[in-house]
A and B are shown apart, each in its own frame.
Chain A
Amino acid sequence: MKGFSVGFLCGIALAVLSACLGGQIAGMQALVAVAEARTAAIVATKELDHEKQVQFRTRLAAAKTEQEALGIKAEVVEHNRKRDAVYTLLGELFTEAVRTTRKSIESKRLDLSGVLVVVDKLIPALQAVGVKDAGVFSALAVIRGGT
């Protein structure tokens, strides 16, 4: 009966290995989700920026006083700052995702912690700029779920 026990234990060990690989797949799916969410976030931010800039220009064209024009200009500066912060974070996310992919290929192990640090900064930045795209946020939620 000892052979049976050894066989059974080997089976469990293989099942554990398989489960580890399943974890890797979940991680890799999360990495694909990172890349897709990033593209969606770029498109959403670009569209929103265009809408906002058109609104600013319309308001500037209708401004009656210098004070009003200067007030709008201050809003423009603030909006542009938030938008540029989003683009910087999206750039960082690219660097981090590439680094994670390369590292995971080398070490055969996925560690998404670096990606998650950027994602945690990106979510409030997107909200601050006014992105409400549910697709972007649900994709980012997939990333969190994949870890």
Chain B
Amino acid sequence: MPWWFAPALATGRALFDIIGAAFGADREKLDKLGERVPIVLEEGARALEIARAAAQTEDELTAKAFEDALARVRRAGKGEPVDPDATKP
């Protein structure tokens, strides 16, 4: 057996162990991140559902405000009395 065989084996093993440990830690980190993605995406899906429902409600309220405003200015144009509560949003 050549004289350098033992130190080469030891160095190779040490290198392998160091990098292997880093590799294992990285794999664990990667798995944890992989688990987190669907959870956060699911939270976002719920938030989007709520936001869309809220947008629909807002649209309905604003559409009604427009109809009210139109009716009010038309009544005022004809010289009819205007409901004082109509100016409240």
**Interface residues, chain A, with chain B CB atoms under 8 Å away:** 1, 3-4, 7, 10-11, 14-15, 17-18, 21-22, 24-25, 28-29, 31-32, 35-36, 38-39, 42-43, 45-46, 49-50, 53-54, 56-58, 60-66, 68-69, 72-73, 76, 80, 83-84, 87, 90-91, 94, 97-98, 101, 104-105
Contact = CB atoms under 8 A, between A and B. Distances in A.
A94 B44 contact: yes
A10 B9 CA distance: 12
A31 B68 contact: no
Interface residues of B, number: 52
In terms of DSSP, what is the predominant structure of the interface of chain B?
helix
Contacts of A58: 89
Given A49-B55, A61-B88, A4 B73 contact: no
B19 A94 contact: no
Given A14-B19, A87-B51, A104-B34, 19 more contacts: A3-B4, A4-B4, A4-B11, A7-B11, A11-B15, A15-B19, A22-B26, A24-B30, A25-B33, A28-B30, A28-B34, A31-B37, A46-B47, A49-B54, A58-B89, A73-B66, A87-B52, A87-B55, A91-B48
7 contacts: A10-B15, A29-B33, A35-B37, A56-B62, A68-B73, A72-B66, A97-B37
